[in-house]
């Protein structure tokens, strides 16, 4: 058995295999176990990735496995689940994926797994809540990818607009990873200068443009799906980023799906918020100072998620 940072990936579809590729390239973990109902697909990915190891900067031990192999891993990343079919409602998709997740989580916990769950499958906030309920794990050790990708898209588009590197744009998309999410423009800054001040001082920047940027962020997945059928590179890199923060005990602030227990006036819902991430999982949720409009939007987003959860829990 390889000692060190060990990850089990459940689901080797577009997102899962892209995550594995990112993990290999970035040298974040020491071992990756790939698990999928379609064993041949997972075994093919293992072979393909192993053939590229000679070009990787750091060795990653990659193998095919089963749920029993989750016993000694530090992190279980779930990318498995059904995709939305044409004509299928989001609620029908929820029903289908909850059944799949109940089976997955039960088998992982039965293996003796005692690490952290990281969930990527959509609707991610709902399914992360389900993993928390099904596993019986403490809330800190069940994390969803939340709005990490929405926030990355947001920073990228704002960087393009203001012509600065996205790393120098600081701001968050919070709420449901979906149609009810919101931009926290009240706290966005570019190199320390508040964006709302910038649009007051510089006539070339307008609130209308900022509103358009958010619409592009919110609807980005639809654009990509229309073009190529699915989104996977961006979210895979977001998952690698969360993995690094966990395994390397970074105490990094990332927008993930975390359980609300009074923060932002919300309870008993997993939702995208900035949180400090380290080896123990979610160390704490960061409470941004929201404007009145943002508070209303966030409450609406939390209610949307609770309504979806209500029939099931």
- The pLDDT assigned to 90 comes to 67
- Flag whether 124 is marked binding: yes
Report cis status (omega within 30 of 0) of the bond before 237: no
What is the structure's pLDDT at 141? 98
Instruction: Say if residues 274 and 254 touch (Cβ distance below 8 Å).
Output: yes
The residues assigned a catalytic role are 177
pLDDT in tens, 175-184: 999 899 999 9
d(CA 107, CA 101): 10
Residue range 290-305: mean pLDDT, rounded: 97
pLDDT, tens only, 61-84 = 999 999 999 999 999 999 999 877
300 is in an annotated binding site: no
How does residue 89 score in pLDDT terms, banded at 50, 70 and 90? Answer: low
Domains plus CATH for the chain?
A: 6-144 (3.40.50.720), 147-310 (3.90.110.10)
Does the annotation list 203 as a binding residue? no
Distance CA 313, CA 152 (A): 31
Taking the whole predicted model, whether its pTM rises above 0.85 is answered as: yes
155 is in an annotated binding site: yes
Residue 19 pLDDT exceeds 90: yes
- CA 153/CA 136 separation, integer angstroms: 33
Q: Residue 208 pLDDT > 80, yes or no?
A: yes
Question: Is position 6 annotated in a ligand binding site?
Answer: no
What's the mean per-residue pLDDT of the chain?
95
Most confident stretch, 53-57, 125-129, 228-232: 125-129
The mean pLDDT value for 6-22 works out to 97
Is 122 annotated as ligand-binding?
yes
Distance CA 275, CA 273 (A): 6
Determine the pLDDT at residue 92: 81
Contact assessment for residue 290 and residue 184, using Cβ atoms and an 8 Å cutoff = yes
Sheet containing 75-78, strands listed edge to edge, beginning at the edge strand earlier in sequence: 61-64, 31-35, 6-10, 75-78, 116-119, 142-144, 252-261, 267-278, 281-285
Higher pLDDT: 279 or 82? It is: 279
Task: Determine the pLDDT at residue 1.
Answer: 41
Report which of residues 293 and 231 the model is more confident about: 293
C-beta of residue 213 within 8 angstroms of C-beta of residue 194: no
Q: β-strands 189-190, 169-170: how paired?
A: antiparallel
């Amino acid at each position: 058995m390889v000692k060190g940072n060990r990850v089990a990936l459940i689901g080797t579809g577009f997102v899962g295999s892209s995550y594995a590729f990112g993990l290999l390239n970035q040298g974040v973990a020491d071992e990756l176990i790939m698990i999928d109902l379609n064993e041949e697909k997972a075994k093919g990915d293992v072979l393909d990735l192993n053939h590229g190891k000679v070009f990787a900067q750091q060795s990653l031990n990659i193998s095919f496995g089963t749920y029993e192999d989750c016993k000694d891993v530090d992190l279980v990343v779930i990318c498995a689940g059904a995709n939305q079919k044409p004509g299928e409602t989001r609620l029908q998709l929820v029903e289908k994926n909850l059944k799949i997740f109940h089976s997955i989580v039960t088998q992982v916990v039965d293996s003796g797994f005692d690490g952290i769950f990281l969930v990527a499958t959509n609707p991610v906030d709902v399914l992360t809540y389900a993993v928390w309920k099904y596993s019986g794990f403490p809330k800190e050790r069940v994390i969803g990818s939340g709005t990490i990708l929405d926030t990355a898209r947001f920073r990228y588009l704002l960087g393009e607009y203001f012509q600065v590197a996205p790393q120098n744009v600081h701001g968050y998309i919070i709420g449901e990873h979906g149609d009810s999410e919101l931009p926290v423009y009240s706290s966005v800054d570019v190199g320390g200068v508040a964006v709302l001040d910038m649009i007051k001082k510089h006539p070339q920047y307008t609130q209308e443009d900022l509103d358009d940027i958010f619409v592009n962020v919110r609807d980005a997945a639809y654009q990509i799906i229309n073009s190529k059928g699915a989104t996977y590179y961006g979210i895979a890199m977001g998952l690698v980023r969360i993995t690094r923060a966990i395994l390397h005990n970074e105490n990094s602030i990332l927008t993930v799906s975390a359980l609300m227990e009074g923060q932002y006036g919300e309870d008993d819902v997993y939702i995208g918020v900035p949180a400090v991430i380290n080896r123990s999982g979610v160390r704490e949720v960061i409470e941004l100072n929201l404007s009145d409009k943002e508070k209303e939007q966030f409450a609406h987003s939390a209610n949307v998620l609770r309504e979806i959860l209500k029939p099931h829990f």
